[in-house]
Amino acid sequence: MERAISLAKKGIGWTNPNPLVGAVIVKEGEIIGEGYHEKIGGLHAERNALKNCIKDPKDADIYVTLEPCCHYGKTPPCTEAIINSKIRRVFVGNLDPNPKVAGKGIQLLKDNGIEVITGVMEEECRKLNDIFFHYIQNDIPYVALKYAMTLDGKIATSIGESQWITGREARKHVHELRHRYAAIMAGIGTVLADDPMLNARIENGHDPIRVICDSQLQIPLESKIVQTAKEIPTIIATISEEHEKKQKLSKAGCSVIKVEEENGHVSIRKLMEELRKREIDSVLVEGGGILNESVIQSRCVQKVYAYIAPKIFGGRNAKTPIEGTGVEHIKDALFLEHLTSKTLGNDILLEGKVKRCLPEL
């Protein structure tokens, strides 16, 4: 199963909104076939493993990180392929939370005389698909908040300089995250200040869909975001009724969507619902303090990536990662759990899951 998990990770960035799945076929102590779900619309892990078999899989065992599907979608059901191959036993990491599967795949295998063992490295397989499980069970994208700050909690100097707070290794890691998530979100303030591309600048990287929160449609037509909208899918979320600007943005390749207003800005919760309709399963938020505060207030955040640089800026007016009025009582803070830390060059990445989040359905 460890090998199956390792294989599944090769699909990171390419399978959204499908899960990451790996499969390994073993016969008489020898791996005779393996595969993973490589991209959305492509063969599932089990079918790839069977296709790659170097021996007849009859009476073999298959280890798969997620319950085999039993319904027709973009590809035929994997249970059908397993049954037809006469595999003897199936070892499963997690049950599939998708209502179309949800135990039905396992039952179908059992009904056809195949022994099924579940819960194999269950926790490790579950971590592999945090995004998928949340997306299916809560019907809303998995949202991660990312920011880089100094030791004294500043994201820019007193005059607004912010490039670069962290070093090369940390910035490379950010691009790996962009490759992982289906969409990246920024506010109009970031666009006006930095004119970013918001793409994944790594070898063989997958550019995320760009989502810009721009309540009043202030984004310049000459910005890099707009100029490259025909190459990289770009969504502009607004509350504005300015028809002429919408037309120009649409002509440039942007998808402009009107979202409900909340306190004079785009409602983050309603925007997430709109993104869900577009089958966007995950969003990496790379905003300034104002957008970050709005996202936190929406209670949509599931994970936080905080990059901390060994620098001190100081300055009463220097910006911080989270603006707004903040909480009055400690009990109302956003608490993180399952914390991990990683050294990236001279910087440190703190990563944690939000404890106070959307209730599980």
What is the set of active-site residues?
46
Between helices 289-297 and 268-277, what is the axis angle to 10°? Answer: 80
- Return the number of other C-beta atoms located less than 10 Å from residue 176's C-beta: 13
- Return the number of other C-beta atoms located less than 10 Å from residue 158's C-beta: 13
Residue 129 CA to residue 8 CA, distance in Å, equals 10
Residue 313 CA to residue 292 CA, distance in Å, equals 20
**Residue tagged 């936080």 (tokens):** 304
CA atoms in the 13 A half-sphere facing the CB of 205: 21
Sign of the four-CA dihedral 85, 86, 89, 90: positive
Give yes or no for a contact between 93 and 66, defined as CB atoms under 8 angstroms apart. yes
Token pair of 300 as six digits: 């949509």
Residue 9 CA to residue 349 CA, distance in Å, equals 21
Q: Which amino acid is at 298?
A: S
Give yes or no for a contact between 354 and 360, defined as CB atoms under 8 angstroms apart. no
Biggest CA–CA distance in the chain, Å, is 70
Q: Which amino acid is at 108?
A: L
CA angle 165, 13, 64 (to 5 degrees): 130
Residue 244 CB partners (closer than 8 Å, separation 6+): none
Token pair of 305 as six digits: 């990536």
CA atoms in the 13 A half-sphere facing the CB of 8: 25
Name which of 101, 99, 86, 95 is nearest 118 in CA terms.
95
φ, ψ of residue 160 to 5 degrees: the values are 100, 5
SS3 105: helix
